[in-house]
Chain A
Amino acid sequence: MLFVLLRLLPGDPANALLGVGATEAQIAAARTQVGSDQPLLTQFVSFVGNLARFDLGTSFVSKASVLGEIGNRLSVTVPLTILGFLLAIVIALPLGIIAAVKADRWYGAAISIVSQLGIAIPVFWLGILIVTIFAINLRLFPSGGFPLKGWTSFGEAAIALALPVLTVALVIAASLLRYVRSATQDVIGSDYIRTARALGSGFTEALVRHGVRNGAVPVISILGIELATTFLGAVVVEKVFALPGLGSMLLLAIQQRDYPNVQGVLFISTLLVLLIGFAADLLQRFIDPRLRGRAGAP
């Protein structure tokens, strides 16, 4: 599927390699070099064969190994995603539960309104606002960029990631909060909580002992989707903060029609998305024994 989509891209990659004024002979030479003069079937066979050996080829443009480049880029995108994600959970869990339990108080309602606002804000605008406040007005953090040496200059790298992580976290937290809130609402309205309370446990005790496990199941499946989305959607945040991550690699590769790089990024992303989905599924079964017997639980 990936292969078909990429071959649909018009414009021969050989043309992207050369300038406008290239001669026929130069174009033919470039085509041989990138292999786009081979029949499609031959291209496809070598594509699948290489994927199976985890050989993602070399970039048309920079001649660097695609897998090596992806590795470098992941060292930015993975910490960004994971840290932002963890911070989002720390923000969203308590606030979501409060919003559901105290919906009739002003602060419960206020949390709901803010999260409504949060899901309507595009990531890049939030990023720009955060840059304006923290980097330009308060001058606390750099407005973008990443140290050239990467994680070897750890302090600089950590500071460079602070604002991007905050941006990612706030975006995920806003949508996560809504799911936590509705899951908590379902739990509060459920029969087992009423039973537990009728048997004499306090409201909080009932919520903690019975509610958390039950409420966690739908939230975890959302968490899985959100993690995958964040990982792939990091392209925008990376652009705002000029970070050399996987997303900006994809953007550049698309602009340069650098097929091996586009292919490589998509392949690795697909793999990660499937892996995350699988992990979320396992975690759900671990928490809720009822899901274990069913094969394709909805």
Chain B
Amino acid sequence: MSAVAATAPRARGSLTLWLGLLLVGLHIAVALLTLVWLPYDPAALTGGRLTPPSWEHWAGTDRLGRDFFTQIMIGSRIALIVGISAVAIGGLIGVTLGVLAAFATRLLDDALAATLDILIAFPTLLIAMLVVAASDTASLGTAVLALGIALSAIVARLTRILAKRVLLMDYITAARTSGTSWLGIVFQHVLPNIWPTLSVNFALQFGLAVIAEASLSYLGLGAPPPNASWGRLLQEAQGTVYTAPIGAIAPGIALVSLVIGVNLLADGLRDIGDPTRRGSR
């Protein structure tokens, strides 16, 4: 019994990790493939309108007769670009703010913490909507920037809490006494220590960003038409769901498989990084 209890969670942890790697790897492979090869020209009218799936068109064609599978493949690339850039922007702003808050005077820190709490109470999507509205034209760049800014509040709060915990450690006092500058402390001690937790959180943020971008596109606030975002594909397909239900299903499956892949990857990494979670029962 005890032998089973000790090994079972570890085996499940690695399964989670591998499944996550597989799903994410698949999307990365497809995204890279779209750079050099596509089954059809995404803008070309290659068949009848709203045809059901066939050997020629794996996911059928859209209301103009364009190949749907090609657009979903491009959607992979867009989702990855959006996810990675949004997390990069959110991470850069969030970590900087969080570290500054952790080092700041009591008053400034309290003010920052209160602001972050209020920002976090608003859903990522709503903040992103406002940022998109604040910029004149909708483009992939604005959507990414909007999501990055929206995510940064979550990252900043987490960073602040983690960094404060590290700053209480004895080795920080030792570093301070020996004359290390505060920037030195940040880069030598704080960031390396909080990185494992942060990186898992970044993976979860990536999933959030992909879903939020799809929602923005669905609402018509995302990247404009030449970009085949999954959200926009779904929005267009909703109108023709009576005649071509596949269009309303396939992009969703692509989206969910990417988000689940990243979430599983994050879970798997957390299990490796944090031994206390291995025997959670």
Contacts and interface: CB of A to CB of B under 8 A. Distances in A.
Interface of A: 5, 8-11, 103, 116-117, 119-125, 128-129, 131-132, 136, 185, 188-189, 225, 228-229, 232-233, 235-236, 239-240, 250-251, 254-255, 257, 262, 269-270, 273-274, 277
Interface residues of B, number: 39
Contacts of B33: none
Nearest 9 CB-CB pairings of A with B: A120-B259, A125-B252, A254-B133, A120-B260, A122-B211, A233-B123, A273-B121, A124-B218, A8-B134
Contacts of A121: 252, 256
Contacts of A250: 129
A124 B136 contact: no
A132 B134 contact: no
B199 interface: no
B200 to A, nearest CB: 15
Contacts of A273: 121-122
Contact of A125 (B121, B133, B219, B234): B234
18 contacts: A103-B281, A122-B255, A124-B215, A124-B235, A128-B234, A128-B248, A136-B245, A185-B280, A185-B281, A188-B281, A235-B129, A235-B219, A250-B129, A254-B130, A262-B133, A270-B118, A273-B122, A274-B121
B238 interface: yes
A235 B126 contact: yes
A9 B214 contact: no
A136 B219 contact: no
Interface string B78-92: 000000000000000
A257 B132 CA distance: 12
B129 A254 contact: yes
A255 B248 CA distance: 25
A225 B130 CA distance: 20
B123 A232 contact: yes
Contacts of A228: 121
A10 B248 contact: no
B163 interface: no
Interface of B: 118, 121-123, 125-126, 129-130, 133-136, 207, 211, 214-215, 218-221, 231, 234-235, 237-238, 241-242, 245, 248-249, 252, 255-256, 259-260, 263-264, 280-281
Contacts of A185: 280-281
Nearest to A254: B133
Contacts of A235: 125-126, 129, 219
A120 B219 CA distance: 19
Contacts, number: 102
Nearest to A240: B238
Q: From B123, B235, B248, name the one whose CB has the most chain A CB atoms within 10 angstroms.
A: B123
Given A10-B135, A10-B136, A277 B123 contact: no
Contacts of A5: 130, 134
Contacts of B215: 122-124, 236
A132 B281 contact: no
A117 B256 contact: yes
A119 B118 CA distance: 23
Contact of A233 (B125, B133, B134, B280): B125
A188 B280 CA distance: 11
A10 B125 CA distance: 20
A270 B263 CA distance: 30
A225 B121 contact: yes
A173 B133 CA distance: 31
A10 B134 contact: yes
Contacts of B219: 235-236, 239, 251
Nearest to B207: A120
B252 to A, nearest CB: 4
Contacts of A233: 123, 125-126
A8 B133 CA distance: 10
B263 A116 contact: yes
A116 B234 contact: no
A104 B110 CA distance: 44
B68 to A, nearest CB: 15
A129 B250 CA distance: 11
A99 to B, nearest CB: 12
Nearest to A225: B121
Q: From A136, A188, A250, A254, name the one whose CB has the most chain B CB atoms within 10 angstroms.
A: A254
A120 B256 contact: yes
A122 B238 CA distance: 14
Nearest to A8: B134
Q: From B118, B126, B242, name the one whose CB has the most chain A CB atoms within 10 angstroms.
A: B126
A67 to B, nearest CB: 20
Contacts of B256: 117, 120-122, 125
Contact of B126 (A119, A232, A239, A240): A232
A127 B147 CA distance: 23
